Structure 1
Amino acid sequence: MFRNYFKTAIRNLLRNKVYSFINIAGLAIGLACTMLILLYVKDELSFDRFHHKGPRLYRIVSKAARGGEERFAAHTGLLQGPRFTKNVAGIQSFVRIQNGQEDFKKDADVESRELLYVDSNFLRVFTFPVVAGNATTCLQQPHSVVLTQAEAEKQFGTTDAVGKVLMMRQNDAFVPYKVTAVTKNCPQNSSIQYRMLLPFRETEADAGNNENWFSFYLNTFVVLDEHANPDNVASQMQRFYKKDASETFNAMIARFGGGSNGVGMGTYLLQPFEEMHLSKTLPAQNGLQNASNPMYATILSGIALFVLLIACINFVNLTVARSVRRAREIGIRKVVGSGRQQLICQFLGESFTLCAIAFLLAIALAQVVLPVFNDLANKKLSITYLLDVRLVISYLALFVLTGLLAGFYPALVLSGYRPVETLYSRFTLKGKNYLQQLLVVLQFTLASFLIMATFIIYAQFNFLTQTDMGYNADNLILVNKNDMTHEAAATFKTELLKHTDIVSVAPKNRGNWKTGAKLANDSTIAFEWETVDEAYIPTLQIPLVQGRNFSTAYPADSAQSVVVNEAFVKQAGWKNPIGQPVIFNFHDNKTFQVIGVIKDYHYAPLNQEIGPQLFTMNNANSYGTFYIKIKPGTATNSLKYIQQQFKQFFPFTPYSYVFKEEEVLKSYEADARWKQIILFGAILTIFISCIGLFGLSVLSAEKRTKEIGIRKVLGASVQSIVTALSRDFVKLVIIALLIAVPIAWLAASKWLQNYPYRITPGWAVFSGAAGLVVLIALCTVSFQAVKAACANPVKSLRTDS
């Protein structure tokens, strides 16, 4: 019996090749999409869960009230780990992690490498397997270095690197560091990523200086006892912190300003290590990597659900659409003795056969598309991840559910035919087909929502990448050189300007420095602190709105003058900013005067709000980056000259450059990836939805075959018949749009709140997306409608349908 069901199913597949292909392909695409997204979600949820001590691992974090707003911080100073471990019950051990970058010399080449400074017990707390060396002692000596297998292979051509030596720069000399261990490469689902580990640097003076409670620049992790309560431990930490640090804090407040009587010390908390990856308030940062937003997994899960639901709906619709032609077969089977139960089993068997084929194709399709998906999602996923027991059970459940959904309704309908009606061609599909209409509305609501979301994301991305940043980044090259004196920078700058293609050169501190100062009214202000020379503002063509720029004609500018931006003036509450004092209370209350105000410009990407910014030429601060403006079309020659001069002036410093425009675009990489992911999701949903709509148009044409013939005999035109056949489907699509538009508008408004600078979604976006959906649906339906309208009316009137 089952053999006969299988043979019948295969025979029907081969008899209707086009429809079978569409049916199986639609379901396979939906399943492949779901599999890929399940891989992503599984990877996100598995982050950092491979550490043996993971359930007992916590990161020391803090919260503090600033400006009436509660803010969280994930970084600590030197003292939190050792002081809390020694004085708080329940803490077993601690590990500090500080990111760094050092220069290494190999033969005549110097290369800058990122690395982590860690405490000596790092490899005993975190589970990074050691393949050579001793995990207990490998980080105890100051000049030790631990490599991953990949880094050992790169440096020495072999993973057998224990005992070999790397030359690392210290001040102006290169000193040997001995490889004491080699570990396996860090798993991709790890927030801690490294290729080199060096022993943490700490002096006795630093360990005894209580002011290091308030110098935040690293991550501190603690391992709790097995039965310790994290909340109780955190309470003890806070009590000890108040006791040990209050006196120092009050002395610092009296010296630097910003608070009184211990107010503002903050509260220490414990963050579970395994929750760090998906945390929105305390993400993996400051030396940790791969921080993610749980919203991404939610969005992708929603897309997977949408696509799979639409694929299953199509499967049902297409099966029903083709079932009309099997009415006579059902009648014959009933006449020769087949019962309804047997017929239901037959159709369910056919449904499960189709699903099995679709599942096999989905696995193959997922494997083929996986490299592209990895690029989009910035992952290194493998199809073998699907072999997880829970995922296998989920897929089996999905297979059974899909087979039942796709086969149960058609089986009930077809098995209920009366033989007399089917054999004498009196059978028709009666009723309004409310279920199918509801499914079509649901399909196109989901598809329309994703298309509108795509339009919004594209518009916001274009806004981010095309908005005027407030400065001119054209032909601007950035070259880094850390810890450079003003004298060395001036000499190098003079040499660069000798080249005719180099327009201007402006040194600046590397990265963004954040600090604070007092104003004349004794209030404090936090700001971005930039050290530049007189060429910086003209090189970036930032407009001055008041006062003047720095100038070598005023020698005092390098000692007591500052330039601020409009945001600084606004927050300070100044009406006349020129001449206002800014008191650097952490620097012996040295007072600077404002000589100029520049127009606000986006010194950070547009996903960060412009804050107060202050510029100084203070000789005590070092430079770290050269901003080099070149003539258009001269990049090749200019870069060659810059590199030659750099190597001549700084022979032991790695040379690298980046164009400012590229650096800005790189900051929007995550937005670009999600733009592509949502686009592919929208294309999939509209494609699969149109397959379903095509199936329903086939069903409609078959139901109304004789009606179409009569209309043609009575003189109806092809256009009028196409309109009559398409009208009902277009109505369903319009209903779907009416549902999707407000939902998409609400979702877009909420999503855009994440951006301080954003578009305002107007009706043009939604009407454009709606027009596209209607056009695609109309083209899909019209194809079958035109085919039916052009059919010979004689054949239509003589049809058995």
Structure 2
Amino acid sequence: MPMFKNYFKIALRNLARNKVYAFINIAGLAIGLACAMLILLYVKDEVSFDRFHHNGPNLYRIALKSVHHGSEYQDGNTGLLQGPRFTQNVTGIKSFVRIQSGSRDFKKGTEVESRDLLYVDSNFLSVFTFRLTDGDAKNCLRQPHSVVLTRDEAKKQFGTTAAVGKFLLLREDSLFVPYKVTAVTDNCPQNSSIQYKILLPFKENEADAKNNDNWFSFFLNTFVLLDDHANPQTVSAQMQRFYEKDAAEVFKAINIKYGTSESEDAQMGTYFLQPFREMHMSTTLPAQNGLQNASNPMYAYILSGIALFVLLIACINFVNLTVARSVRRAKEIGIRKVVGSERRQLVIQFLGESFLLCAIAFILAILLAQIILPFFNELSNKKLAIVYLLDAKLIAGYIALFLLTGLLAGFYPALVLSGYKPVETLYSRFNLKGKSYLQKSLVVLQFTLASFLIIATFTIYSQFNYLTKTDLGYDDSNIVMVNKDNLAHQRAAIFKAELLKYPDIEYVAPKNSGSWMTGAKLDNDSSISFAWETVDESYLQTLKIPLLQGRNFSADFPSDSVNSVLVNETFVKKAGWKNPVGRSVIFNYQNNKVYQVIGVVKDHHFAALNQKIAPQLFTMKNSNPYGTFYIKIRPNTAARSLEYIQKIFKQFFPLSPYSYVFKNEQNLRSYESEARWKQIILFGAVLTIFISCIGLFGLSVLSAQKRTKEIGIRKVLGASVQSIAAALSKDFIKLVMIALIIAMPLAWLAAGKWLESYPYRITLSWPIFVSAAVLVVMIALCTVSFQAIKAAFANPVKSLRTE
């Protein structure tokens, strides 16, 4: 015991004497450990998703697989019929639950607010495990005018969680109807794909339940609960057999109605079951359409890789710095060996020092992880907390991480230091021999990773800038979007006229809400799918979309609102038309209604640039309601214009919720994933380059100490400070150049692969790689030049006095 006490005192004295060395070593380890902690937190959250449901192992989502033009597609959306029909006719299915996302207008006092919610079947809270704080899980959703709230929502609506029995006013058509709160649940866990604040009973009338057309109306998620002993593959096969039998006739009728040709290899598709717990990290069938928090496992892999390498680099730095400092402790080791210390005791001593440093670093890592957790949550789009780590398995994992880090960081230096010969160290004849292949290889590894991440950062930044700054083919500046669903054309025209009375409003263009996709036949007997937009004659002018051929819609031609359409260039190419103006588009499901093309608009990116421009058709058809207004305001008039728009909106639609968004801001939100990738890779690049530079600094210290006498001789013979500094730095720059040579082709391949997922992308070019190389070399040069210049300025007499 006294021996260990002595070791502890010596370790503390060494740290006190070498404060800069201790700070660099501890800081590097603390950063590496903090990264590892945060990644463990992230991975724990990812793998725990949806595992709190008691029925989880037996829960599956109904999904459909289909083949179109030789490509396979999978879809997790279903319609009204799949759940009840399969449950009634397939052995092994105990029950089903349908979940549909929606929104409703809520009235509180005189204020009207639109809120997102979920429509669910009455057994939702019996199948899924969301804990009730008040109410009955089996019966709370049975009545049509029931509503279930979470604790936070109850407190928001009523100021208390004791909300059962109270009423909320929800819009039904033009009236607000009271809904009774029948239950209150805990807030949804953060690791749940099903997120809600408000639940309403799923509404289904008898006619819809009997209508076989609803086999092919896909707008919700259907989950089934299987028997304990049911085989999912067997159940899926039974589902498919029943589907082919029950839906065959209506499938043929729909193909005839919508004009689907044989060339489009129309197929009924194949139903199968997706395990509920696999949904969160699925890339083919993600959580969507009312389900949330879908995750790409690539995020976990990349973050885990960054954390692993940062921790490994921190351990490498510990080894390099410890060996670099060993010359200063050579005499101490020699004296210990002379007075009888065994190599085993020296190994224990240096391992003990390693574990002491790791313990200090571990405490700092916990504090550091807590400090940067909000930033990490923003990067990873999570709501994690450190208390989430208070789990027996994770605590055991951290203990293992601590022991492993201590061994990795201390074992090699302990072996090297304990092997010094006492005679050489005591007579100052000791010198670190060898070419340090291990240390140099580790530095190459560090800078290879750092260079790779810097090139990746430059690539992602360039692609992000391309996506956000490329000409969209229309002008999205100073356009305010205001929603008003299901608005008739006549009412929209009056509202538009009132808005245009304000001098700071230049144009107003109504449009349908959301995205409408449909298909039709062409006059050459082919068929086409396209985005169907309902607009008025101001739409092209408001967005400054060029008209290439023909004419725009006009109030001077009454037939434009009945049978005229505009199409985009992609529509024309897909249709194979050479002279599109005057050609016909035939809507089979509208009793073969024929529309005539009166003009062609220039292709523009009406969807995000991560999607290819699709065929697009514009109509002014009176029976299609408007849902969004594009309001073009004069520059620098946003505050007063928005105030006027809100005032007029409330005058016209006092019972409708008002909200707005600027079109250019909405476009930027389409690239949130790219923005997050940009931040994650930048964060990883900064960390790896910082810790790699610490390692390079350690190696420069080691090199300067090995070449102390050489430097002294050079100075005595007249070498300048610049030439000595250059000689010391040259070897390290060679290592960095080797790292760049390795990293560049790897980064080229990885960046090229990543960019392939974008139909519109930058071209990988030499400036990205040259810029990254210059940055890496400059950082490395700054790191080693400090120690090189310090060694060059040293007094040569001191280094040569023992010769």
TM-score tier after normalising by the smaller chain length:
over 0.9
405-414 or 97-106: which moved more? 405-414
Aligned: 1:51 with 2:53 = yes
2:480 aligned to 477, 485, 501, which one?
A: 477
**Residues 213-612 of structure 1 correspond to what in structure 2 (within 5 A)?**
213-259=215-261, 263-612=266-615
* Distance across 1 between alignment mates of 2:420 and 2:288: 65
- SS of 2:246's equivalent in the other structure is helix
Residue deviations 1:743-779, cap 9 Å, x none? 1111111111121111111111011101100110011
Describe how 1:112-191 pairs up with structure 2 within 5 A: 112-191=114-193
Deviation at 1:545, TM superposition (A): 1.4
What is the CA–CA distance in structure 2 between the aligned matches of 1:342 and 1:640, rounded to whole Å? 79
Q: Distance in 2 between matches of 1:556 and 1:59?
A: 47
Secondary structure of the equivalent of 1:745? helix
Deviation at 1:61, TM superposition (A): 0.7
Where does residue 73 of structure 1 map in the other structure? 75
Bigger mean CA offset, 566-575 vs 768-777: 566-575
For residue 522 of structure 1, report the CA deviation from its aligned partner: 2.5
Aligned to 1:669: 672
TM-score where L is the length of structure 2: 0.98
Larger deviation, residues 666-675 vs 455-464:
666-675
- Cα separation, 2, equivalents of 1:570 and 1:61: 33
Secondary structure at the aligned position of 2:480 is classed as strand
Distance 2:257 2:692 in 1: 68
Q: Does 1:699 align with 2:682?
A: no
1:200 aligned onto 2:168: no
Matched, 1:791 2:794: yes
Partner of 2:90: 88
8 Å CA contact 1:60–1:219 kept in 2: the answer is: yes
C-alpha contact (below 8 Å) 1:191/1:284 kept by paired residues? yes
Measured after TM superposition, the shift of residue 579 of structure 1 is 1.2
User: How big is each residue's C-alpha offset from its partner over 1:298-329, in whole Å with a ceiling of 9 and x where there is no partner?
Assistant: 11111111211111110110111111110000
Output the CA distance in 2 between the equivalents of 1:52 and 1:466: 48
Q: 1:684 — aligned with what?
A: 687
Aligned residue type for 2:786: F
Contact 1:250/1:260, CA 8 A, preserved across alignment: no
Q: For 2:107 and 2:267, how far apart are their aligned partners in 1?
A: 45
Q: Which amino acid aligns with 1:44?
A: E
Q: Aligned partners of 2:246, 2:405: CA distance in 1, in Å?
A: 63
Partners of 1:671 and 1:412 lie apart in 2 by 47
Q: Distance in 1 between matches of 2:577 and 2:36?
A: 57
Counterpart contact for 1:150–1:185, Cα < 8 Å: yes
The answer on whether the counterparts of 2:566 and 2:597 sit within 8 Å (CA) in structure 1 is yes
- Which AA in structure 1 matches 2:89? N
Give me the whole-angstrom Cα distance separating, in 2, the residues matched to 1:134 and 1:559. 53
Q: Using the TM superposition, give the Cα deviation of residue 622 of structure 1 relative to its aligned residue in structure 2, in angstroms.
A: 0.3
Shift of 1:47: 1.1
CA apart distance, 1:41? 1.7
Per-residue deviation, 1:33: 1.2
How far did 1:393 drift? 2.6
Q: CA deviation at 1:523?
A: 2.2
Structure 1 counterpart of 2:39, one-letter code: I
Q: Secondary structure at the match of 2:506?
A: strand
Structure 1 residue 415: deviation in Å? 1.2
CA contact (8 A) 1:138 1:181 kept: yes
Deviation for aligned residue 1:292: 1.2
1:744 to 743, 747, 760: 747
Q: Is the 8 A contact 2:170 2:178 kept in 1?
A: yes
The one of 92, 102, 106 aligned to 1:100: 102
Cα distance, 1:796 vs structure 2:
2.2
Aligned amino acid, residue 407 of structure 2: L
> What letter matches 1:198 in structure 2?
L
Residue 254 of structure 1: how far off its partner (Å): 2.1
Distance between the aligned counterparts of 1:285 and 1:613, measured in 2?
25
SS, match of residue 586 in structure 1: helix
1:263 is displaced (CA, Å) by: 4.5
Distance 2:40 2:550 in 1: 58
Shift of 1:104: 0.7
Check whether the contact 2:258–2:519 (CA below 8 A) recurs between aligned residues.
no
For residue 716 of structure 2, what is the aligned residue in structure 1?
713
* Amino acid in the other structure paired with 1:492: F
Q: Distance in 2 between matches of 1:342 and 1:83?
A: 75
8 A contact 1:253–1:260 mirrored in 2: no
Structure 2 distance, partners of 1:211, 1:799, is: 97
Following the alignment from structure 2 to structure 1, what is the Cα–Cα distance between the partners of residues 783 and 242?
71
* CA distance, structure 1, for counterparts of residue 760 and residue 76 of structure 2: 26
Aligned counterparts of 1:799 and 1:150: Cα–Cα separation in 2: 77
**In structure 1, the residue corresponding to 2:325 is in which secondary structure?**
helix
Deviations 1:685-721 (A, max 9, x none): 0000000111111111111111111111100000110
Letter of the 2:406 counterpart: G
Maintained 8 Å contact 1:254/1:260: no
Contact between 2:554 and 2:560, CA under 8 Å: does it hold in 1? yes
Q: Name the Cα RMSD after superposition.
A: 1.2
Amino acid at match of 2:648: Q
| Structure 1 letter corresponding to 2:656 | T
Structure 2: distance between partners of 1:303 and 1:70: 34
Give how far 1:255 is off. Answer: 2.4
User: Partners of 1:244 and 1:260 in 2: how far apart?
Assistant: 22
Contact 2:260 2:266 in 1 (8 A): no
User: Which letter maps to 2:197?
Assistant: R
Which shows bigger deviation, 754-763 or 467-476?
A: 754-763
1:125-170 C-alpha deviation (Å, 9 max, x unpaired): 1111111011100000000000000100000000000000001111
Shift of 1:183: 0.5
Identity %: 73
Q: Which of 30, 33, 49 is the equivalent residue of 1:31?
A: 33
Q: Which runs of 5+ in 1 are unaligned?
A: none
> How far apart in 1 are the matches of 2:181 and 2:262?
49
CA contact (8 A) 1:706 1:799 kept: no
Letter of the 1:726 partner, please give it: S
Contact 1:258 1:523 in 2 (8 A): no
Deviation at 1:574, TM superposition (A): 1.3
Instruction: Tell me, yes or no, if the aligned pair for 1:527 and 1:612 is still in contact at 8 Å.
Output: yes
Range that drifts further, 377-386 or 172-181 = 377-386
For the 8 Å contact 1:319–1:406, the answer to whether it is kept is no
Residues in 2 aligned to 1:565 and 1:263: alpha-carbon distance in whole angstroms: 26
What CA deviation, in whole Å up to 9, does each residue of 1:398-421 have, x standing for no partner? 222221222111111111111111
Q: CA deviation at 1:799?
A: 6.2
State whether residues 457 and 682 of structure 2, in contact with CA within 8 Å, keep that contact through their aligned partners in structure 1: yes
- Structure 1 runs (4+) deviating above 3 angstroms are 259-263
How far did residue 46 of structure 1 move?
1.3
Q: Report deviation, 1:395.
A: 2.1
> In structure 1, what is the Cα distance between the partners aligned to 2:802 and 2:522?
92
Which one is further off, 68-77 or 715-724?
68-77
1-side partners of 2:158 and 2:802: how far apart? 80
Q: 1:81 to 1:260 in 2, by over 3 A?
A: farther
Q: Which amino acid aligns with 1:615?
A: F
For 1:507, what is the secondary structure of its paired residue?
Answer: strand
